[in-house]
C-alpha cells in the first residue's frame, strides 16, 4: 500500500480550498445516513413509553450528525484506498478538493458534539451507545478490521446495527430485549448486503488490497455465506413479532420480505457472474436496501397505527 499512500499524499498536498458545501455533504455519506436515521426512528417508536416530540427530534438529529461525523473520519482514514477504487476516487479527499485534516476535524467535531448533545438533552445511556457506535465504526471496523480480515463486514457490521438501539435507549434510558432484536436483525443483514456489492466490485477491492470475502475466498464460498446469512436472517426479522414489540402485520410482512431476500440469494448462488456481469448480485444489493427500509417501515406503521 506504500505506492497508494504516496500517491494519495501527493494528491492531498495539491488540494486547496476548493471544497464546496457539496463536498462537506458528501463526507457525511447522506444515502447511508438515511438508513441509519430511519432505523433509529423505528427503534425510538418501537420502545415502550414515549418521548417528547422535541426530544425525539433532537435524538434523531444527534444520530444523523454522529453518523455523518463517523463517515467523514472513515473517508479521512480510507483516502489512500478510495483513490484507487472506481466508485470512490471522486470523493472530496481523493478527488483533490479537500485537505485530509479538514475532513478529520469536521468528523471529530460532529461526532463529539452529537454525543454531548444526546447526553445533555436526552439521556446519557443513549449518548453512551451513540459514542460507542462511532468508536466501533472508526476504530474496530475502519482501522482494525477492514484491511486485515475477510470477516471485516461480519464483525464490523455491528456498527451499523446500533441506531435502533440508540433510538430505543433515548426513550427508555436502557437497552431492552426489543432493542437487541433490532440490533440482531441489522447485524445479520449486513454481510449478505455488502457481499452482494463486493461480488460485482471485486476488482476494485482487489486493486485496493481490501480483503473482502470474494477477494480472499472466491465467489463460490462468498455466495454460500450469503445464502447462510440470509437463511439465518429470516427468523430474526420476525423476532420483533414473537417477543411482542410488533403486531401480526409486521410479522407477515417481515416473513414475506425475508423470503424474497432468500430468493435473491438463491439466484446469486445459481448465477455465473462472469457470464452475466453479476446481474443477480446487483439485484440482491439493490433489494437488500429496499428490504431494510421496508422492514423498519412496517415496524413504524405497526407502532403508529
Read off the pLDDT of residues 55-105 as tens digits, 9 standing for 90 and up: 999 999 999 999 999 999 999 999 999 999 998 999 999 999 999 999 999
pLDDT in tens, 112-121: 999 999 999 9
70, 137 Cβ separation under 8 angstroms = yes
Query: pLDDT at position 305, please?
Result: 79
Q: Give the pLDDT of residue 233.
A: 98
CATH number assigned to the domain covering 21-174: 1.10.357.140
C-alpha cell, 82: 478510495
**pLDDT recorded at residue 17:** 60
pLDDT confidence of residue 300: 96
Low-confidence ranges of the chain (pLDDT < 50): 1-15
Under a CB-based contact definition with an 8 Å cutoff, are residues 278 and 24 in contact?
Answer: no
CA distance 89 to 80: 9
DSSP letters, 160-180, are HH-HHHHHHHHHHSS--HHHH
Query: What spatial distance separates the first Cα and last Cα of the chain, rounded to whole Å?
Result: 53
Radius of gyration of the chain (CA): 20
Output the CA torsion sign for 113, 167, 27, 144.
positive
Residue 228: per-residue pLDDT: 98
pLDDT computed for residue 214 by the predictor: 96
Query: Is-contact 86 206, C-beta < 8 A?
Result: no
Greatest pairwise CA separation for the chain in angstroms? 58
Amino acid at each position: 500500500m506504500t505506492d497508494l499512500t504516496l500517491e494519495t499524499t501527493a494528491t492531498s498536498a495539491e488540494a486547496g480550498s476548493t471544497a464546496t458545501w457539496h463536498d462537506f455533504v458528501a463526507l457525511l455519506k447522506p444515502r447511508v445516513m438515511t438508513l441509519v436515521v430511519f432505523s433509529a426512528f423505528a427503534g425510538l417508536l418501537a420502545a415502550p413509553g414515549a418521548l417528547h416530540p422535541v426530544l425525539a427530534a433532537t435524538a434523531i438529529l444527534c444520530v444523523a450528525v454522529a453518523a455523518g461525523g463517523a463517515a467523514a473520519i472513515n473517508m479521512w482514514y480510507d483516502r489512500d484506498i478510495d483513490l484507487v477504487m472506481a466508485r470512490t476516487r471522486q470523493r472530496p479527499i481523493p478527488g483533490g478538493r479537500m485537505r485530509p485534516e479538514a475532513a478529520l476535524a469536521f468528523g471529530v467535531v460532529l461526532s463529539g458534539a452529537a454525543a454531548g448533545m444526546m447526553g445533555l438533552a436526552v439521556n446519557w445511556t443513549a449518548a453512551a451507545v451513540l459514542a460507542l457506535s462511532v468508536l466501533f465504526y472508526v476504530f474496530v471496523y475502519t482501522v482494525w478490521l477492514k484491511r486485515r480480515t475477510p470477516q471485516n463486514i461480519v464483525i464490523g457490521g455491528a456498527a451499523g446495527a446500533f441506531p435502533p438501539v440508540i433510538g430505543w435507549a433515548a426513550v427508555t434510558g436502557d437497552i431492552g430485549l426489543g432493542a437487541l432484536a433490532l440490533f440482531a436483525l441489522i447485524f445479520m443483514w449486513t454481510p449478505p448486503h455488502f457481499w452482494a456489492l463486493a461480488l460485482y466490485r471485486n476488482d476494485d477491492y482487489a486493486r485496493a488490497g481490501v480483503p473482502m470475502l470474494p477477494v480472499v475466498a472466491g465467489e463460490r464460498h462468498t455466495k454460500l455465506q450469503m445464502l447462510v446469512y440470509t437463511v439465518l436472517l429470516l427468523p430474526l426479522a420476525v423476532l420483533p413479532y414473537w417477543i411482542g414489540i410488533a403486531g401480526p402485520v409486521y410479522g407477515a410482512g417481515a416473513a414475506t420480505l425475508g423470503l424474497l431476500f432468500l430468493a435473491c440469494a438463491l439466484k446469486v448462488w445459481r448465477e455465473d457472474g462472469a457470464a452475466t456481469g453479476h446481474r443477480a448480485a446487483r439485484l440482491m444489493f439493490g433489494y437488500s436496501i429496499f428490504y431494510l427500509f421496508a422492514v423498519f417501515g412496517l415496524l413504524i406503521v405497526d407502532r403508529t397505527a
